[in-house]
Structure 1
Amino acid sequence: MRELVVLGTSSQVPTRVRNHNGYLLRWDTEGILFDPGEGTQRQMAFAGVAATDLTRLCVTHFHGDHCLGLPGVIQRLSLDRVPHPVHAHYPASGAEYFARLRHASSFYEAASIVEGPVHDDGVVATGAFGTLSARRLDHPVETFGYRLVEPDGRRMLPERLAALGIRGPEVGRLQREGLLHKDDRTVTLDEVSEPRAGQRFAFVMDTRLCDNVYALADGADMLVIESTYLDAEAALAAAHSHMTATQAGRVAAECGVRTLVLTHFSQRYEDLAPFAEEAARHFDGEVVVATDLARVKVPSRRH
């Protein structure tokens, strides 16, 4: 199961139909919650997301629409006695803010929160899921985008396995060991498989266009990116260190993105259709205008 569960899509001010930010990436056994804004705990209930689903919290920066939901989410982890550690990644310069949000009110702390402050560009976590890295963005307060990369692997070819009579546990042994002795011959993994590119996910919020936006988005199967303004307000976007739908579309096109998810919309817009139209003028892949409580599947692996 690899999908994005959208919990909120507004920017600074929530609206009647758009909550503050909140994005859960389901990635196999990982549940990574990005930028939980105010109201995220309730949005999780509407979306059918349990506290036990969460394995990581990733905060891009400490503006309220990206972090004011942390107290409720963190206290819920303890209330529900989540049995596994939950890792928290956030800009190191905001450690004091995280500490205040983590202990915003009195509660019995039963969950294990493992803090991993992000000091600079680089890898912040590795595991069976792949590699999670962060890169600094261009915003008035220290802001990091995140990128998840699965290692490249190999895809087994059923027709070649069948032709050689390889089945059942033999397939697993061949995958683990790289070769298999079968009927007086040695079969190598390369003979019955082909390269399989690992999947890539990128999360970019609150930034002017900068080099690290492209670095994060490079080859992403799914790019979740802020598009606070339409192109008519490009000057306003630049003044407030944000991006437009047009810029997001161009980034996706130049970086070979497959699914582009637009979000973080200014409250001034009621009709979001123009966001998709502007992005699609530059990007011919899948464009998703995120809506609260939507689920967006990560595209299947490239062949």
Structure 2
Amino acid sequence: MSVRDLLVLGSASAVPTKARNHNGYLLRWDGHGLLFDPGEGTQRQMTYAGVSATDVTWICVTHFHGDHCLGVPGIVQRIARDGVEHPVDAVFPASGAAYWARLRHASAFRDTGVIRERPVSGERMPLDTGDAPFRLVARRLSHPVEAYGYRLEEPDGVTMLSGELAARGVRGPLVRRLQQDGRVTAPDGRTVTLEECGVTRPGQKVAFVMDTRLCDGVRELADGVDMLVIESTYLDEDAALAAEYGHLTAAQAARVAADAGVRHLVLTHFSERYRAEDEPRFAAEAAKAFDGEITLVHDLDRIAMPRRRTSGGGA
């Protein structure tokens, strides 16, 4: 059975707290596992979440600040120790290749050959995902060090209309051929097209946006996604700090979601300057700008993908 959900392995920002581990997010998608920004302690958090190194097929690092990458050595060595046989694609900013190399070989261990390095550069870079059931693109963001966000897209599909098929006498193997070729010859000799018997089923989309100021890259990544996983390091009262250090407030993240037509807004990466009793304020500030579903995450949360959109992009 295919699974599509987000496992939150950590949700703090620069400094972990008693309640929040450094970053770590595992997006499970039809047998693939995309591990975003494994911070310190991610390996142990995966154990608590009930997942293992064998579940990881991609490692995607947004940038090389420690809270987003210090878990790389443990994950890499666990992949090796557990004898993971499938390829694991490692995506990271090309400008940080030296940091990646240090993390990748941080200590002595029996190395693995399954990790394929995929450095990204430029403003926008599509990634070759082979036969994976999704497309992946990296987009440059605005942070004091080079940083990228990621957008995963499932290609659009087609929902077949049983009534239209029956009316044209298309059944059995002819249906599969119609899906593959786009047209078939019906038993009565008529040519039947896919457009006559099916409607577009929009593919699901997820965006992952960590440390950044507001910029075109944020808006492009968020455009029309079903789930936006986005940093909300600060409350609006600290917007000046957010701009200075290259971060977003909860309200800014929510305005992006509202403007982009996002369905589910997932807020994370909270500064340690705030106390537990401040958490409702993040959700409240976001709700003023965004009237869709909002989740303020906690470590080890599991967040399911929203139900598919209907044809034509409706909810």
Matched, 1:209 2:218: no
Match of 1:178 among 171, 177, 182: 182
Q: Deviations over 1:37-62 (max 9, x none)?
A: 00001111111112111111000000
The match for 1:101 is 103
Counterpart Cα distance in 2 of 1:79 and 1:105: 13
CA contact (8 A) 1:40 1:73 kept: yes
Matched, 1:149 2:165: no
Counterpart contact for 2:169–2:187, Cα < 8 Å: no
Preserved contact between residue 51 and residue 82 of structure 1 (Cα < 8 Å): yes
Query: Is 1:63–2:65 an aligned residue pair?
Result: yes
Aligned partners of 2:287 and 2:226: how far apart in 1?
17
Q: 1:279 is matched with which residue?
A: 286
SS in 2 for 1:126: coil
- Give the CA deviation at 1:159: 3.6
Q: Kindly state the Cα deviation for residue 130 of structure 1 after the two structures are TM-superposed.
A: 2.8
1:124 matched to 2:127? The reply is: yes
CA distance in 1, matches of 2:28, 2:226: 14
> 1:238-253 residue pairs with structure 2 within 5 A?
238-253=243-258
Q: CA deviation at 1:160?
A: 3.0
Task: Name the aligned partner's letter for residue 19 of structure 1.
Answer: N
CA drift at 1:301: 2.3
1:190 to 172, 184, 195: 195
Aligned counterpart, 1:84: 86
Give, in angstroms, the shift of residue 167 of structure 1. Answer: 4.4
Which of 246, 257, 268 is the aligned partner of 2:262?
Answer: 257
Q: Shift in Å at residue 113 of structure 1? A: 0.7
Q: Answer whether contact 1:4 1:25 (CA < 8 A) is retained.
A: yes
Q: Does the aligned pair in 2 maintain the 1:77–1:111 contact within 8 Å?
A: no
CA 1:142 to 1:180, structure 2 compared with 1: closer, same or farther past 3 Å?
Answer: same
Partner Cα distance (2:58, 2:308) in 1: 23
Q: Distance in 1 between matches of 2:54 and 2:174?
A: 36
Contact persistence 1:228–1:243 (CA under 8 A): yes
CA distance in 2 between counterparts of 1:101 and 1:167 reads 56
Following the alignment from structure 1 to structure 2, what is the Cα–Cα distance between the partners of residues 141 and 230? 22
Instruction: Give the Cα–Cα distance (whole angstroms) in 2 for the partners of residues 40 and 98 of structure 1.
Output: 17
Secondary structure (helix, strand or coil) at the match of 2:284 reads helix
2:289 is paired with a residue whose SS is coil
Matched, 1:29 2:34: no
Q: 1:293 to 1:168 in 2, by over 3 A?
A: farther
Aligned length: 303
User: Which residue of structure 2 lines up, in the alignment, with residue 9 of structure 1?
Assistant: 11
- 1:266 has 2:271 as partner: yes
Offset at residue 131 of structure 1 (A): 1.9
Amino acid at match of 1:202: A
Q: Secondary structure at the match of 2:89?
A: strand
User: Partner residue of 1:54?
Assistant: 56
Q: Which of 225, 228, 236 matches 1:220?
A: 225
Partner of 2:313: none
SS of the equivalent of 2:142 reads coil
For 1:170 and 1:28, the matched residues in 2 are separated by 27
- Structure 2 contact 6–28 (Cα < 8 Å) conserved: yes
Distance 2:162 2:109 in 1: 54
List runs of 5+ in structure 2 lacking aligned partners: 311-315
Give the superposition deviation at 1:238: 1.3
SS across alignment from 2:135: strand
Is the partner of 1:133 in helix, strand or coil? strand
Aligned twin of 1:292: 299
1:163 Cα shift? Answer: 4.6
8 Å CA contact retained: 2:150, 2:221: yes
Give the alignment's TM-score, normalised by structure 1.
Answer: 0.95
